[in-house]
Every structure is written in C-alpha cells, then in structure tokens.
Amino acid sequence: MKKIFSALSMANEQIIELETQLLKRKLRITESPCDIEALVDQRQLHTFCSNDYLGLANHPELIEALAEGARRYGVGSGSSHLISGHNIAHDLLEKKLATFQSEHIPQARALFFSTGYLANLAAITGLIKLAKPGEASIYSAKLNHASIIDGVRLASAQSKASVNLFDHQQLDTLIEALKKDTKPLKLIVIDGVFSMDGDIAPIKALVQIAEEYDALLLVDDAHGFGVLGEQGHGILEQFNIASERIIYVGTLGKAAGVSGAFICAQAPFIEWLIQKGRPYIYSTATPPAIAHALLKSLAIIESDEGKSRRHQLNQLITHWQNAMQFSAWEKVISCTPIQPVILGSNANALAVAKLLDEMGYWIPAIRPPTVPIGSARLRITFSANHSIEDLQALMSALQKIERQVQMESGS
Ligand SMILES: Cc1ncc(COP(=O)(O)O)c(C=O)c1O
C-alpha cells in the first residue's frame, strides 16, 4: 500500500479535529447574484447574511457600469500600480473617495486596494515603518477584524512594534498605557463598526485620546462606509469628526456593492504608503472596470436613491430593535444592519442555522475564531432590499425554532 506522506496525514488529522470540535466550515455554492433571495446548492433561500447593506450588488446601473468599464478598459490591469497597472479609472475613483472624507481629514488623499484585508495590512505595516524598528507602539481593540489582527502581527514581526490590546468599551486601560508610552510613534487601531457585534466604536473619545497622546488613529469603517452619515460617507460624517490624525479605511465590497477598499489620510501618509506599503506595491492592480463601476456606486451612495436606501435600512433596524423581545435569545444592542443573536455553543449555533435552512433561510452559524469561544451566533444582516414583511417573517421563523429547541431540550 502507498504510504501517506506526513504533511497529508497531518492535514487529514487536523480536519478531523476541526470536525470533532464542530469548527469545520463548509463552502456553499450560489448560482444567483448576491441579493435577498439566493439559489444556494440548488435551493432558493431568503438571505440575511451578506454585507450588501444597500442592496447594490445586483443593481442594474452597476452591472451596466461594470460592462461599460470592461468595454473601455478590458478585463485585466496587467500589473501592479507602480509598473503599468494604474489606470485613469483608478485615479478618478481615488479622487472621488478623497472628496467623501475631505471635510473630516485635511489634505485628504485616497489609495485604492483590491481588498480590505490588504488595505489593513498595508496601512498598519506601512505606517509603523515611519519609525525606526522598535520605536513604535500599536494599540488595537481586542475585537478588531482578523485583517487588523494580522496587520498588527506582521507589523510587530517586521518592525518590532510593541502591541497592546484594549477593550473598546473600557478606554481607561488604553489611556493608562498611552500615558506611560514614550515611543515616538503610536498607532491606535479600531473597527468603526464591529463586524460581529454591530456596535459602533466610541470614535469621538478615541479621536480626543489620539490628539492628547500624540497618536495616529486608524479607523476601519468597513461596515460604516455607505451606511453611516447623511450622505453615506461613513462614521466620520455620522459623528461630525475632523482630525489630521485619522487614517480612514473603507471597503467597497460591502455597502458599495462591488469589490475593493481604500485608505484615506493626509496626502503625505498616502505618499509614504505608495512608497513603502508592500501589499500595495507587490500586488496586481484591480481591473480598472471595477474602479469604473465603483464610481457609479459612489454616485448612487450620495444620491437621493442612496438616501432612501439608508432610510429603508434604518426602518428595518428600528423595527428589529422595537421587536427584539420576540425571542429570549441574547441579542447585542446594535444600531447598524448587523444584528447578532448569540447562541453560545457551536452545537447550538449549528443546530439553529440548520433549522433556519430547512425553513428557507440562509444565515450561517458564526463560530470561533471569528467570534470569542462560547459566543457562537447567528450574524443577521439587513439589506435595503428587505421589507418590514421580510423581517417579520424571519422573526416568526426564529420564534418557531426557539420553541422547538426549548421543547427538545426540555426547558
Ligand atoms: C471590519 C472589516 N475589515 C476589513 C475587512 C476585509 O475587507 P475585504 O472583505 O474587502 O477584504 C472586513 C471584511 O470582511 C471587515 O469586516
């Protein structure tokens, strides 16, 4: 019999281990556009799990803009931005993105990336290189997104930056640590909207802290861009914040409905990242057709249509908040389209997600390491394409499932 080489047997054993701990994840295949209904593994399901908050991912004008972009610029960029991949569509997009933050960041300039993951890696590792090795500190919120965690780890390994984790609802420890910090460069990093809980960071207090202790403040507004603020410009607009210390990261594959991300900051920081941000320098530029489609998306976000989509989203959020007692399951107080229902164990979360699936709903169980151990959950998300009736129907389904689970467990 042929002997299995050791790496392969390790892979097999580790996968079995994940299965045993109910932590194995499964890919599901959709055959339809991202919208509130999806054809998943050949079944039609109601979806409450995407980040397409404004319902733009399947918008006819965006589809047309992408097709027009492909006709104008082809389908590939051919190389990284600094070689030959930087197209007029990228440039126009960056200029427009900068105008979204220009009232909040002086001399705002934006830099486009193919994903938010890369934007966070580039921003954190790149900015830390402004200081000599060992002369920077990073302060990162414990519940920040994985891309921030990885950016912080990489910056710490590459530049010997010291790393401090803080609780974003308890800023005293952050302040105490900053008081003692004598390093020339300090970077505070925070999710604007926490991706798994939906709560919003105490951004005003953090800006004050950054000012007082001479730190930069990186805000990852992946889930706020397009959603927060009267014009959809994001968290800085919503809370009327202006500071030269802010490094703003926004993503474009969520509310903007397409793909990509950007960093917006004072022009010298962006120039530095073009020179030193390795994930920017050593990666092929996003196809310009995507940037062209994104220009259309930004126009919709700022338009009356964008406003009415945000209005609809806020109606859904208010409806959910007012009816939250519909079930006894633990919820997180959130005023964003991310509304988690905490189920605790992996087994509970998987069982409820399965029952939902049987009732025609697609809301996967979110388990560690995406969320802390013991807080497995349903991460319910709303889209402006949902109606109040859709929400009511989901609540009834959840009520039925809760009763069924209680009966089965005898409680
Ligand atoms: C808070 C946060 N930051 C960054 C990202 C990464 O963005 P992208 O999906 O564009 O890589 C995500 C998304 O998944 C996120 O939730």
Where do the domains of the chain lie?
A: 27-53+306-409, 60-302
User: The pTM is what?
Assistant: 0.96
Q: What percent of the chain has pLDDT over 70?
A: 99
| Cα 143 to middle of ligand 1, angstroms | 13
- Bond before 288 cis per omega within 30 degrees: no
Indicate whether residue 195 lines ligand 1 (CB < 6 A). Answer: yes
**Catalytic hit among 46, 86, 104, 254:** 254
Per-residue confidence at 157, pLDDT binned at 50, 70, 90? very high
Rounded CA-CA distance 233/221 in Å is: 10
* Contact 51 CB / ligand 1 (< 6 Å): no
Least confident of 233-247, 279-293, 314-328, 397-411: 397-411
List the structure tokens of 316: 């859904």
Contact between 227 and 255 (Cβ < 8 Å): yes
- Using an 8 Å Cβ cutoff, are 296 and 65 in contact? yes
Distance CA 150, CA 313 (A): 31
* Token code pair at residue 195: 């991706």
Active site residue 195: yes
What's the pLDDT band for 3 if we cut at 50, 70, 90?
A: low
256 and 28 in contact (C-beta within 8 Å)?
no
Catalytic residue from among 223, 233, 296, 331: 223
Cβ contact 251:260 at 8 Å: yes
The CATH number given to 60-302 is 3.40.640.10
Residue 201 belongs to what H/E stretch? none
| CB distance 252 to ligand 1 below 6 Å | no
Per-residue confidence at 411, pLDDT binned at 50, 70, 90? low
- The closest-lying atom of ligand 1 relative to the alpha carbon of residue 120 is 4
Q: Are 198 and 337 in contact (CB under 8 A)?
A: yes
Please state which CATH class domain 27-53+306-409 belongs to.
alpha beta
Strand 365-366 to 246-251 pairing:
unpaired
Phi–psi pair at 28, nearest 5 degrees: -120, 145
Question: What are the pLDDT digits (tens) for 192-243?
Answer: 999 999 999 999 999 999 999 999 999 999 999 999 999 999 999 999 999 9
118 CA to centre of ligand 1 in angstroms: 9
Is 77 catalytic? The answer is no
Task: Tell how strand 43-47 and strand 37-40 pair up.
Answer: antiparallel
Angle at 133 between CA 132 and CA 137, to 5 degrees: 95
Q: In the predicted model, what is the mean pLDDT of residues 353-365?
A: 97
| Percent of the chain with pLDDT strictly greater than 90 | 95
- Condensed to tens digits (0 to 9), the pLDDT of residues 132-153 reads 999 999 999 999 999 999 999 9
**Of residues 117, 121, 114, the one with CA closest to residue 288:** 114
Q: Is 254 a catalytic residue?
A: yes
DSSP 84-147: II--HHHHHHHHHHHHHHTTTSTTEEEEEES-HHHHHHHHHHHHHTTSPTT-EEEEEETT--HH
Question: At which residue do the structure tokens 């259309």 appear?
Answer: 296
